[in-house]
C-alpha cells in the first residue's frame, strides 16, 4: 500500500500562542534535539484569530506558521472550531448546546456548540474558508485537523427541528415512525411530526443511558452522529475546494460511543485518533482499539495524540514508567499507525491541563527523563526513513464491531445492567491477542470472504442482509463465533419474532428459549464433553439443539444438562454459539477449537508472553516484539536470526527482553 506520508510524523499539539515569543526559538532548538518534525497547531484559537464578529487577526498564527515552515515541519493545521469564542455566545446564546437534562449551557468549556445551530455553522465555515485561503498554498501544510474530538450532544429546540427533518427523510410517513418505534406500547402513538420530542432525561430517558423507547434513542444517536458529521463535511469541503490534495482528518477517540466511526471514516482522508489508556487498561484493550482505528478504513492511521508521560483528567494520573512511552509507541506502530504525535509539546502554565504531560515540562529544559525518552524515540523513528510506512497488518480473523449494536445493546432495558459492549468484544479479542493471532476489527458490511474466522459476540442487532452475508460466509467454509444476546432485534430494536437467535437460528442450529441473568455473585458452570469445567455467568441462555452439537452443558440450577456451548456444521463451515459468559479458560477452550477448525495460525509458532505483531510491506515483514509483562521474557527461537531495524543487530537464540523492551525484527519477503 502506498503511504500517505513521506516520513513518520513525530510531534504533536503545540500552542506557542499561549507563550511569549521569546520562548519560541528556544522551543525549536529543544525540539530539534528530539527529532520533532511535525506540529499540530491552532486547535483552540478561535477567540484569538477572530476577536469579534467581523474582525480576523492572523498575525500570531502567521508567525507560528512561518517559524514552523522554516524548520521544515509537517504542519497539521487545525480549524479551531471546537471551542466557541465568548463574544459569539454572548450575542447568539443558541450556539451553545443543551444537555441531556435539558439545560442550555452558558459560555464555558469546549466541544460546546449545537451542531444544528445555523450561526455556529456559518461562522465555522467562514473561519475555515479564511484559514484555507490564507494558508492553503503553504507546502508545509498538507494535513488538516478539523475541529477536535467531535462528540458533543445537544437536545435543544434547533436539534429537535432538525431531528424531524432527519426522520422525515428516513421514514417518509408518520405511520412508518410509529411502526419503527413500536409506539402502540404505552400508547405513545403520534399523529404529527412536531409531536416528536428529543429522547433525553425530560423525555424517554431512564437514568443516564437506558430508555423507555430505545428505538427513538438509537435514531437520535444516529441523528447526532450525522449532524456532527455534516459539520465535519462542511469544513472539509471548504478545504478541499482550495486544496484538493490535502489530507483531512479529525481526531477520533477509539471505542467512543457517541459517533458511528465506520460511517465517519468514509468521509475522512485518513483516520487519526487519541490514545489515552488509564494505568490499569489492559494492553490487549489498547491493541484492540488501535486495530479498530485501523479497521475503520482498513489502512494505516495517525496517532494524533498520546501523552509523553502523565495525564490530568483521569482518576489516577500515573507517570509512564521509564521505557513505557517508547514501548507504547511501538505498539501503536505495530497495529497500523504511521505517525506518533503527542499532546503536547510544551506543558501549559494554567487551566485544567497544566498537569498534563508534555515534551517540555514546566522546568523549561531538555534535562528531563521525559525529554530524553522522547528524543531517543525520535531518533529511532527518524532512522527508519520511510521503510515501514504504509505497510499492512495481514489478518485472517475479523471481529465485528458495530456502533448501532453498541447503542442498542446498552440502551435497551434488561436483561442485565452489567452487559457492556466493548467489554464483551474485548473478552474475545484478548484470546487472539494472547496467542499473537492478528485480528481485523471489521464493520457489519465488511467483505467477510477475506477471513477464515469471524467473531461476532453479542451481535444483538441483526440488520437487513446481515444474516444472509454471514450464512454465505459460513456455507463457503468460514467459521463464525457468536454468543448470547445475538440475533435478537432488527435495526429499530424490535425483536425478530419466532424464537432467539432470530435470523441466526438456522445457521447456529439452536433455539434459545429463555435468558437468565445472574448477579455478579452468582455463577453457573459449563461442563465440556472432555469432563473439564469452567465457570460462567452474567447471562445464561436456556437453549435447545436444532442440529448443533453440545460442546458443553450447564452443571447447576434448573437448567442443568442443557447446552451452553454448541457447534453447528453449516454448509462447508461451522458456527459456534457461546450461550453464557465463560471464564477466561472456558472461552479459551472454545476459541482454541474454533481457531483449529478455521486453520488460523499465530504470527509465530511458539507460545510467548511477549506481544508479537506483524506488518508487511511489499518487500519486508516487520515483527514488532514488545514486552508488556513486567518480567524478562525469552525471545522465541523462531525470531532468532532476524535483524533489528532499531539497533541493526541480529537477534540470537537465548536473548531476552526486559520489561518495556522492544525489537523491530525484519525479514525479506520473497
Ligand atoms: C484530548 C484533546 C486534547 C487534550 C487532551 C488531554 O485528547 O484532544 O486537546 O485535551 O485530550 O489529554
Ligand atoms: Zn442543538
Computed over every residue of the chain, the mean pLDDT equals: 97
* Band of residue 394 on the pLDDT scale cut at 50, 70, 90: very high
Mean pLDDT of all residues in 429-448: 98
Who contacts 564 (Cβ-Cβ below 8 Å, separation ≥6)? 524, 526, 536, 540, 541, 543, 550, 552, 553, 554, 578, 579, 580
User: Residue 630 falls within a domain, yes or no?
Assistant: yes
| 663 within domain boundaries | yes
E strand spans, 66-145: 74-78, 141-145
- Measured by CA distance, the residue closest to atom 3 of ligand 1 is 343
Report yes or no: 354 and 348 within 8 Å, Cβ to Cβ.
yes
Mutation choice for ligand 1 from 42, 80, 110, 148, CB with most ligand atoms inside 8 A: 148
- Show binding-site residues: 110, 114, 148, 154, 156, 159, 313
For residue 43, is pLDDT > 90?
Answer: yes
pLDDT band at 488 (very low <50, low <70, confident <90, very high): very high
Grid cell, residue 123, equals 461562522
**What pLDDT is stored for residue 400 in this prediction?**
99
Q: Does any domain span residue 199?
A: no
- Judgement on whether residues 526 and 578 belong to the same structural domain of the protein: yes
Which range marks the domain in which residue 576 is found?
A: 397-598
Nearest to 618, CA basis, from 571, 668, 652: 668
Q: Of 156-160, 205-209, 367-371, 391-395, which gets the smallest average pLDDT?
A: 205-209
> What is d(CA 449, CA 452) in angstroms, rounded to the nearest whole number?
8
pLDDT at 440: 99
Q: Is residue 573 domain-resident?
A: yes
- pLDDT category at 670 given cuts 50, 70, 90 is confident
Ligand 1 atom nearest to 305, measured from its CA:
7
CATH number at residue 650: 2.60.40.1180
Please state the φ and ψ torsions of residue 611, each to the nearest 5 degrees: -85, 125
Pick the closest to residue 170 from 218, 210, 202, 211 (CA basis): 218
- Nearest ligand, measured from the Cα of 105: 2
Atom number, ligand 1, closest to the C-alpha of residue 313: 12
**Nearest ligand (C-alpha, residue 220):** 2
Neighbours of 28 (CB within 10 A): 16
Residue 189 belongs to a domain = no
533 and 627 belong to one structural domain: no
Residue-wise pLDDT for 307-366, tens only, equals: 999 999 999 999 999 999 999 999 999 999 999 999 999 999 999 999 999 999 999 999
Residue whose CA is closest, atom 12 of ligand 1? Answer: 311
Question: Which of 41, 46, 250, 274 to probe ligand 1 with, by most ligand atoms within 8 A of CB?
Answer: 274
Confidence band, pLDDT 50/70/90 cuts, at residue 210: confident
Residue 269 Cα, ligand 1 centroid: separation in angstroms?
A: 21
Residue 3 has pLDDT above 90, yes or no: no
Mark which of 319, 351, 384 sits at the end of a domain.
384
Nearest CA to ligand 1 atom 10: 353
Cell of 11: 510531534
Which run of H or of E encompasses 324?
Answer: helix 324-334
pLDDT interval class at 478 (50, 70, 90): very high
**CA 185 to ligand 2 centroid distance, Å:** 28
| One domain, residues 317 and 466 | no
CA distances from 572 to 161, 453, 474, 568, 597 (A): 51, 13, 7, 11, 11
- Nearest ligand, CA 156: 2
- pLDDT tens digits along 620-650: 999 999 999 999 999 999 999 999 999 999 9
Residues 636, 566, single domain; the answer is: no
Nearest atom, ligand 1, residue 149 CA: 8
Distant-in-sequence, close-in-space partners of 9: CB < 8 Å, separation ≥ 6: 37, 38, 74, 76, 143, 302, 338, 339, 340, 341
The alpha carbon of 152 and the centre of ligand 2 are apart by a number of angstroms equal to 10
**Residues near ligand 2 ion, CB 5 Å cutoff:** 114, 116, 154, 156, 158-159
Mean pLDDT confidence for 113-120: 98
Residues 593, 487 share a domain? yes
Answer yes or no: do 355 and 488 share one domain. Answer: no
What sign has the CA pseudo-torsion 153, 155, 156, 162?
A: positive
- Ligand 1 atom index nearest CA of 276: 12
Binding-site entries for substrate: 110, 148, 313
Q: Let me know if residue 645 belongs to a domain.
A: yes
Beta sheet of 611-616, edge-to-edge order:
611-616, 620-626, 662-668, 643-644
The distance of Cα 68 from the centroid of its chain, to the nearest Å, equals 31
Whether 569 and 633 share a structural domain: no
The pLDDT of 32-58, averaged and rounded, is 98
Average pLDDT over residues 166-182: 98
Kindly state the helix (H) or strand (E) to which residue 160 belongs, with its residue range: helix 157-171
Angle CA(437)–CA(569)–CA(590) in degrees, nearest 5? 40
Average pLDDT of span 301-307: 98
Cis peptide before 501 (omega within 30 of 0): yes
The total of structural domains in the chain comes to: 3
362: cell is 514546566
> Do 405 and 551 reside in the same domain of the chain?
yes
**Would you say residue 468 lies in a domain?**
yes
Q: Is 324 inside any structural domain?
A: yes
User: What is the reported pLDDT for 142?
Assistant: 86
Closest residue by Cα to atom 5, ligand 1, is: 343
Ligand 1 site, CB within 6 A: 148-149, 251, 274, 276, 305, 311, 313, 343, 353, 356
- Comparing C-alpha atoms, which of 123, 196, 201, 204 is closest to residue 163? 196
The pLDDT of residue 207 is 85
**What is the pTM for the complete model shown?**
0.98
Residue 307 CA, closest ligand 1 atom number: 12
C-alpha distances in angstroms, 490 versus 217, 261, 401, 465, 503? 14, 20, 16, 11, 10
Residue 343 Cα, ligand 1 centroid: separation in angstroms? 7
Q: Whose CA is nearest to atom 4 of ligand 1?
A: 343
pLDDT at position 1 over 80? no
Centroid of ligand 1 to alpha carbon of 286 (angstroms): 17
C-alpha cell at 180: 419503527
Co-location of 441 and 317 in the same domain: no
Residue 607 has pLDDT above 90, yes or no: yes
Are residues 568 and 440 part of one domain? yes
Q: How many CB atoms lie within 10 A of CB 632?
A: 11
Domain boundary among 321, 356, 384: 384
- In this predicted structure, what is the pLDDT of residue 444? 98
Show Cβ contacts of residue 131 under 8 Å, excluding neighbours closer than 6 positions: 42, 77, 79, 80
How large a percentage of the chain has pLDDT more than 70? 100
pLDDT at site 579: 99
What are the backbone dihedrals phi and psi of residue 479, each rounded to the nearest 5 degrees, phi first?
Answer: -110, 125
pLDDT of 432 reads 98
**402, 441: one domain:** yes
Q: Which among 384, 415, 433 is the end of a domain?
A: 384
Annotated catalytic residues are 149, 305
Ligand nearest 358 Cα, by number?
1
Residues 455 and 593 in one domain: yes
CATH at 73: 3.20.20.80
Q: Average pLDDT of 533-539?
A: 98
With 0-12 / 13-18 / 19 or more C-beta atoms within 10 angstroms meaning exposed / middle / buried, residue 620 is: middle
Amino acid at each position: 500500500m502506498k503511504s500517505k506520508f513521506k516520513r513518520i510524523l513525530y510531534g504533536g499539539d503545540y500552542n506557542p500562542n499561549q507563550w511569549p515569543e521569546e520562548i519560541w526559538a528556544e522551543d525549536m532548538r529543544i525540539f530539534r534535539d528530539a527529532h520533532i518534525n511535525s506540529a499540530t497547531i491552532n486547535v483552540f484559537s478561535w477567540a484569538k484569530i477572530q476577536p469579534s464578529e467581523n474582525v480576523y487577526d492572523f498575525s500570531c498564527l502567521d508567525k507560528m506558521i512561518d517559524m514552523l515552515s522554516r524548520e521544515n515541519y509537517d504542519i497539521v493545521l487545525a480549524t479551531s472550531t471546537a471551542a466557541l469564542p465568548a463574544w459569539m455566545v454572548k450575542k447568539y446564546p443558541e450556539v451553545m448546546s443543551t444537555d441531556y437534562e435539558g439545560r442550555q449551557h452558558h459560555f464555558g468549556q469546549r466541544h460546546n456548540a449545537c451542531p444544528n445551530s445555523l450561526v455556529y455553522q456559518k461562522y465555522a465555515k467562514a473561519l475555515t474558508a479564511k484559514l484555507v485561503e490564507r494558508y492553503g498554498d503553504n507546502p508545509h501544510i498538507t494535513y488538516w485537523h478539523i475541529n477536535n474530538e467531535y462528540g458533543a450532544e445537544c437536545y435543544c429546540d434547533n436539534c429537535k427541528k432538525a431531528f424531524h427533518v432527519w426522520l422525515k427523510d428516513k421514514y417518509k410517513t408518520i405511520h412508518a415512525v410509529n411502526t419503527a418505534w413500536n409506539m402502540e406500547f404505552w400508547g405513545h402513538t403520534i399523529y404529527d411530526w412536531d409531536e416528536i420530542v428529543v429522547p433525553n432525561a425530560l423525555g424517554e430517558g431512564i437514568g443516564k443511558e437506558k430508555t423507555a423507547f430505545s428505538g427513538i434513542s438509537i435514531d437520535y444517536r444516529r441523528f447526532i452522529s450525522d449532524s456532527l458529521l455534516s459539520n465535519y463535511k462542511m469544513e472539509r469541503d471548504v478545504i478541499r475546494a482550495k486544496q484538493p490534495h490535502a489530507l483531512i482528518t479529525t481526531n477520533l477517540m477509539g471505542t467512543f460511543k457517541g459517533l458511528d466511526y465506520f460511517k465517519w471514516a468514509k468521509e475522512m482522508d485518513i483516520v487519526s485518533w487519541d490514545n489515552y489508556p488509564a494505568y490499569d487498561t489492559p494492553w490487549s484493550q489498547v491493541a484492540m482499539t488501535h486495530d479498530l482505528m485501523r479497521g475503520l478504513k482498513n489502512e494505516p492511521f495517525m496517532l494524533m495524540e498520546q501523552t509523553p508521560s502523565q495525564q490530568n483528567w483521569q482518576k489516577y494520573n500515573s507517570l509512564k514508567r521509564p521505557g513505557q512511552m517508547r514501548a507504547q509507541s511501538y505498539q501503536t506502530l505495530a497495529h497500523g499507525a504511521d505517525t506518533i504525535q503527542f499532546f503536547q509539546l510544551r506543558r501549559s502554565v494554567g487551566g485544567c491541563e497544566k498537569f498534563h504531560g508534555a515534551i517540555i515540562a514546566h522546568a523549561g529544559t531538555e534535562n528531563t527523563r521525559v525529554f530524553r525518552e522522547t528524543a531517543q524515540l525520535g531518533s529511532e523513528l527518524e532512522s527508519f526513513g520511510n521503510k515501514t510506512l504504509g505497510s499492512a497488518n495481514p489478518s485472517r480473523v475479523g471481529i465485528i464491531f458495530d456502533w448501532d449494536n453498541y447503542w442498542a445493546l446498552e440502551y435497551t432495558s434488561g436483561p442485565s445492567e452489567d452487559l457492556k459492549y466493548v467489554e464483551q468484544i474485548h473478552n474475545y479479542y484478548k484470546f487472539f491477542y494472547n496467542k499473537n493471532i492478528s485480528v481485523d476489527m471489521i464493520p457489519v458490511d465488511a467483505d467477510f470472504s477475506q477471513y477464515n474466522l469471524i467473531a461476532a459476540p453479542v451481535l444483538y442487532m441483526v440488520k437487513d442482509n446481515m444474516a444472509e452475508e454471514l450464512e454465505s460466509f459460513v456455507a463457503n467454509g468460514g467459521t463464525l463465533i457468536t454468543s448470547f444476546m445475538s440475533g435478537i432485534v432488527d435495526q429499530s430494536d424490535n425483536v425478530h419474532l419466532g424464537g432467539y437467535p432470530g435470523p441466526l437460528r438456522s445457521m447456529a442450529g439452536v433455539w434459545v428459549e429463555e435468558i437468565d441473568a445472574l448477579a455478579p455473585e452468582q455463577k453457573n458452570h459449563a461442563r465440556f464433553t472432555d469432563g473439564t469445567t469452567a465457570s460462567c455467568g452474567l447471562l445464561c441462555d436456556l437453549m435447545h439443539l436444532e442440529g448443533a452439537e453440545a460442546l458443553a452443558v450447564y452443571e447447576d440450577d434448573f437448567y442443568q444438562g442443557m447446552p451452553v456451548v454448541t457447534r453447528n456444521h453449516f454448509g462447508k463451515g461451522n458456527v459456534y454459539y457461546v450461550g453464557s459468559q465463560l471464564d477466561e479458560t472456558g472461552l479459551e477452550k472454545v476459541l482454541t477449537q474454533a481457531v483449529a477448525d478455521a486453520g488460523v495460525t499465530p504470527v509465530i509458532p511458539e507460545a510467548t508472553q511477549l506481544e508479537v505483531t506483524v506488518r508487511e510491506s511489499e518487500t519486508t515483514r516487520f515483527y514488532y516484539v514488545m514486552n508488556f509483562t513486567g518480567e524478562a521474557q525469552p525471545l522465541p527461537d523462531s525470531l532468532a536470526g532476524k535483524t533489528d531495524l532499531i539497533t541493526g543487530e541480529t537477534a540470537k537464540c537465548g536473548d531476552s527482553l526486559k520489561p518495556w523492551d522492544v525489537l523491530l525484527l525484519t525479514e525479506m519477503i520473497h
